[in-house]
Structure 1
Amino acid sequence: MNKGILDLMKELKIYRRKRSAFKVLDYLESMVQNLPESIVIFDEKGIPVFINKRARSLFGFKPNGHIGHVPEKLPHPIPVFSASIRKAIDEGESFVFPGEEFEMDKKNGRIKILDVYIKPICLGELKGAFLLAYDVTDRVEIEKKMINSHKMETVGLIAGGFAHDFNNLLSGIMGYLELAKMSKDPEKVREYIENGLEISAMAGKLVDQILTFSKTMPVKKERINIKRFYEECVDLIKQSLKRDIVIKVEVEDNSLRVYADRAQLKQVMINLMLNSIEAIGNKAGGKVILNARKLLKTGLDNHEFVVLSIRDNGIGMNEDVKDRIFEPFFSTKKRGNVKGTGLGLSIVYRIIKNHDGDIKVFSQLNRGTTIELILPASVPREEKAYQFLGELVKGTGKIMVVEDEERVRKVASKMLETLGYNVVSVENGKECIKTLNEFGDVDLILLDLIMPGMDGIATLRSLKEANKKIPVVIASGYITLDMSYLKEYDYIMGIIKKPFKLDELSYKVYKVISMYKQTKK
């Protein structure tokens, strides 16, 4: 065969191979372009050489621009990751940034929650890195709704016990007040009133517990003392206990702490304790043991962890049930005539995972179940006790009390008058603004937040618009809520929780008015 023809056939084969390879590359590029995840590929200089459609949409890349720009000049939030991209290229490191919040559109304040992964690329001499981003905003919002829905379900289960405890305390308060009213002995009257005040403080703590448990707010992690936390949980559900069931807290190391969101962790523990109580049923000698210990060998980047365990001697589970208990909507129980939602343990699992923790289950049929929660430890530090000693601090000045509840308004006014202040009291924000306009300013406003008509927030807004530079102390029974929205009002000088004691009020008011008078000099 002619050599020229052979050469031509060889070239045709090479061409076909190249064309096939290009087709494969086209297919791959088309596939990556249309993936639901955002992908940006960087060369060895850290300059983007490929941006898929989803990344252009999510990050706001220009249709034909930004290729060839350094990361620092790319749309937000890519510049945030420029150092990690550089390290991935130079040192071959991988990075994971789960659940990062970013303001993607400053004009509209659009917030997105992203899981971001940065990985090195090393193909022979070819070096680079790629950034992979998942938009998990919708998933996180759904999880929040599920958590809050389940929380309300659990609150319903413990509400009966809460009402029982609160009514008992209320009976004690009323009883001591009746005795004080009848007694003619001043010492006895003082004793009865002191006892009533002591029980009132207990009632306040009980309300705090139910509010802390049921509140809806962003995750706020703090250092939690495990022993005290367990005791709070037991107090919340003790009225849900059947008579023969005993709950024991066995924590020998009083310094053990975890770093977690108190409300969410309480939701987890209450759920697990209620499950244990239900698993025990009518069995004689039922026990639930709460324990905690340090995890000595973690194997997880040498971080310290604490294991929280809840052990019961209930009916236990077989392997099939145990393998499925964290699946959403999987349920083996009924409450009354209503089947359980099956969301409980799936939400427990999600909360623990969101705390960078882990959960383990050990169970045997007819022997019982142990559930272990592994959470990041909080290293103990010296705690300072800030305690007000109880002396009354008297002062002078004019105070306006803004409170819709007549009895609370009268008591607060009487307290302030006893401390030496002139008091004007009104029942809502509208009257507050009207009175200030008619009779002039005051030295301090004691303001309730939740009122009909013009509430506390609307009142603060009106004061700001009218340029009334009067110090405000918020008086609220619901200060466990996230109050970061109050930061825009410059003249809020303090918050006092209802019910407040005379010594607390005297100290707070005196301190604020003193500071206010100093600034006016």
Structure 2
Amino acid sequence: TLRQAQKIEAIGQLTGGVAHDFNNLLMVISGGLDMLDRQTDPNRRRRLMDGMIQAAQRGASLTKQLLAFSRRQTLRPEPVDVATQIGGMRELLDRSLRGDVHVEFDFPEQLWAVEVDPGELELVILNLAVNARDAMPNGGTITVRGENLPNLHEEDIAGDYVRLSVIDTGVGMSAEILSRVFEPFFTTKDVGKGSGLGLAQVHGFATQSRGTVRIKSQLGQGTSIELYLPRSRNLASKQRHLIELNRTTRPKQDGQGQILLVEDDEEVAALVGEMLDQLGYQVTRAASAAAALGALADGRAVDLVFSDIMMPGGMNGVELAREIRRRRSDVPVLLTSGYAEAAIHEAEAEGIQILAKPYHLDELAAALSAAKSDRQSDTGSKRLSSSLSS
């Protein structure tokens, strides 16, 4: 009975936190839209627009943190050189921290590569650095340290690991707070200063990356948060994946081709149609997989099919992509989803590209271009193979 009560309390805390944060975000967006029609001053309209954009971005970030906590986010692990990846974050960290907070890196020359999603690793380090900054109201030093741990044998992990520690000289935590730090929406910060999902996200990322996370802290003596990440036996790529903070405005283009948009939600379809139009595509919309196959069967020209994964009618986006490959192998397919774990794994196993919701215009443009390029290279390979066998 006690355990059931604790579960219910935890679920109540989680859902209450989600409702609170999203209500605030929706208030900014819905109120801003209402005010937008009443404003004629371009500067005030711009401020309203900026506020709504920031709210939408915070909502996307909150959803990502929830997926990370639940260990359901889509990770793309690869061999990563930690010293290069994290060392290149100095400018980003300097912009995110106060002038009285200094960052030091302590990486040995022969630090092993790790098998993680590089972008998510950077977000975790940034998250921990901001937490460390807040724990040092009078300034101090944050040390990011890497260590090789060969033949580690502990309860939850075994093998070769890299320990990546973020150490601060701040106020520290009591034993009571330490016991709750990984709970979603638990925070000691003032209202509006943090969602309480930061360490929950770190825990989800570490676990999903086949590692773990531990915390050492004492009141008045600072805190050390240690990520244990599995060693990679493969060489790390030289290409770095930096967090993108600024997005450029993309001018409207023309003549990009015909897209069949498959989306059952009217509002989403209207918005995506506008985005595709901005990118220079002509759009035909279908509200279901069956309607999309009908549109393809009537002989109309289609350069790419862009479909949601979850749809009514008994056929999802992955099944639609399979059927299109069978009927029209020359037509590339790009899928999108907010969250559909089983279908996402299925699509990735078959080499079908997925664009995660929510996405920006430049991300949509890049995904469409990649999907078209992949299909062209596949078609070229088949033609070459056919020519050689002839």
- Which band: TM-score by shorter chain? 0.5 to 0.7
- In structure 2, relative to structure 1, the CA distance for the partners of 1:153 and 1:473 (3 Å cut) is farther
Q: Does 1:449 align with 2:309?
A: yes
Counterpart in the other structure of 2:357: 498
Q: What is the match of residue 71 of structure 2? A: 215
Q: Give the match for residue 402 of structure 1.
A: 262
**Mapped partners of 1:474, 1:261: distance in 2:** 24
Q: Any gaps of 5 or more consecutive residues in structure 1?
A: 1-149, 229-249, 271-288, 318-324, 326-343
1:391 to 233, 237, 250: 250
| Residue of structure 2 in register with 1:253 after alignment | 104
Aligned partners of 2:208, 2:371: CA distance in 1, in Å? Answer: 42
Q: CA RMSD in A?
A: 6.0
1:166 aligned residue: 22
Distance change >3 Å, CA 303–CA 419, structure 1 → 2 = closer
Q: Which one-letter code corresponds to 1:253 in the other structure? A: E
Q: How does 1:455-494 map to 2 (within 5 A)?
A: 455-478=316-339, 483-487=344-348, 489=350, 492=352, 494=353
Deviations 1:323-365 (A, max 9, x none): xx9xxxxxxxxxxxxxxxxxx9xx99x969963x7968788xx
| Matched residues, number | 316
Q: Is the 8 A contact 1:309 1:371 kept in 2?
A: yes
Code of the aligned partner of 1:470: V
Post-superposition shift, 1:458? 1.8
Identity %: 22
Partner of 1:423: 283
Choose from 198, 204, 208 the match for 2:54. Answer: 198
SS in 1 for 2:284: strand
C-alpha spacing 1:431/1:516, structure 2 compared with 1 (3 Å) = same
8 A Cα contact 1:399 1:446, kept in partner: yes
Give the superposition deviation at 1:300. Answer: 7.2
The Cα of 1:436 is off from its aligned counterpart by 1.3
Please report how far the alpha carbon of residue 463 of structure 1 lies from its aligned counterpart in structure 2 after TM superposition.
1.7
Displacement after TM superposition at 1:384 (Å)? 5.4
Describe the SS at the equivalent of 2:37.
helix
Higher relative contact order (CA 8 A, sep 6+): 2
**Separation (CA, whole Å) in 2 of partners of 1:510 and 1:386:** 21
Q: Residues 32 and 52 of structure 2 are in contact (CA less than 8 Å); yes or no, is this contact kept in structure 1?
A: yes
Give 1:489 deviation, angstroms. Answer: 4.3
1:384 and 1:354 mapped to 2: Cα distance? 21
1:100-147 CA-partner distances (Å, limit 9, x unpaired): xxxxxxxxxxxxxxxxxxxxxxxxxxxxxxxxxxxxxxxxxxxxxxxx
Distance in structure 2 (CA, Å) of the matches to 1:358 and 1:422: 48
Given that 1:309 and 1:372 are in contact with CA atoms closer than 8 Å, whether structure 2 keeps it comes out as yes
Q: Which residue of 2 aligns with 1:375?
A: 228
The residue identity in structure 2 corresponding to 1:375 is: Y
Shift of 1:297: 9.9
CA distance in 2, matches of 1:180, 1:510: 34
In the superposition, the TM-score normalised over structure 1's length comes to 0.44
CA distance in 2, matches of 1:201, 1:512: 25
Larger Rg: 1
Q: Tell me how far 1:471 sits from its aligned partner.
A: 0.8
Q: Deviations over 1:269-303 (max 9, x none)?
A: x9xxxxxxxxxxxxxxxxxx997553779797998
Structure 2: gaps (5+ residues) = 1-5, 90-100, 128-139, 153-159, 180-199, 384-390
SS at match of 1:182: coil
